[in-house]
Amino acid sequence: MAIIGRLDAAMPEARIELDYRTPLELVVAVSLSAQTTDKRVNLVTPALFARFRTAADYAAAPVETLQTFIKTVGLFRNKAKNLKQLGQVLLERHGGEVPGRRSELAELPGVGNKTAGVVAMHLGTDFAFPVDTHILRLSYRLGLTTKRDPDGVERELQKLVPRPLWFQGHQLLIWHGRRCCDALRPQCHRCVVAELCPKKGVKQKQ
């Protein structure tokens, strides 16, 4: 696919920007990143991961204690409750381990379909092309889809992009959205796919 190829040539270093070492840390980090920047999440997770290393650690922790570790993250109170419940569910249903299938991941507290796709994709346990706000915006702007909901966009992208490129395409579109194709002020003058882009929804300068 030409768009993926050009973005890859321009940003071969594209990768997930959340710091993690284990499947559990990945689930927690991606869950915390909802409505919060990856940079902010990376500031709180070192202390959180040092204190809570297993599902049992999260399950046993008072919600108030968990809140103190993530209080600078958006929606921290609700996320603290989800972390405790996450630990409990992992213990009760999965032997304390993070499942690999996207469908099982999506059933975990604080883990929706998009987060489950991101986790499964990075663990290499299931195929996915999860759609975040950047991919949602770029997919429409680039004319890759007419859908405006994440699940609908993902289904169309999965048909359009060869499966071996799903992981790469997901990451590249996010990086392009963060570094060039801004929601309000897209930098079309320096965009490597500008000539392939119909610029749907972009206000043209008079």
Task: Tell me the pLDDT tens digit for each residue of 26-84.
Answer: 999 999 999 899 999 999 999 999 999 999 999 999 999 999 999 999 999 999 999 99
* Cβ contact 193:142 at 8 Å: yes
> Which residues, 6+ apart, have CB-to-CB distance to 146 below 8 Å?
140, 156
CA distance 127 to 121: 6
* Cβ contact 51:69 at 8 Å: yes
182 catalytic per annotation: no
C-alpha distances (whole Å) from 79 to each of 4, 46, 92, 105 are 34, 17, 20, 16
**Spans of all domains in the chain:** 2-13+129-196, 23-123
- Superfamily (CATH) of domain 23-123: Hypothetical protein; domain 2 (1.10.340.30)
* Cβ contact 86:119 at 8 Å: no
Task: Tell me the pLDDT tens digit for each residue of 177-200.
Answer: 999 999 999 999 999 999 999 998
Active site residue: 79, 132, 151, 200, which one? Answer: 132
Active site residue: 81, 114, 126, 147, which one? Answer: 114
pTM equals: 0.92
- Token pair of 112, please? 């929706």
38 catalytic per annotation: no
CATH of 2-13+129-196, one of 1.10.1670.10, 2.40.40.20, 3.60.20.40, 2.130.10.10: 1.10.1670.10
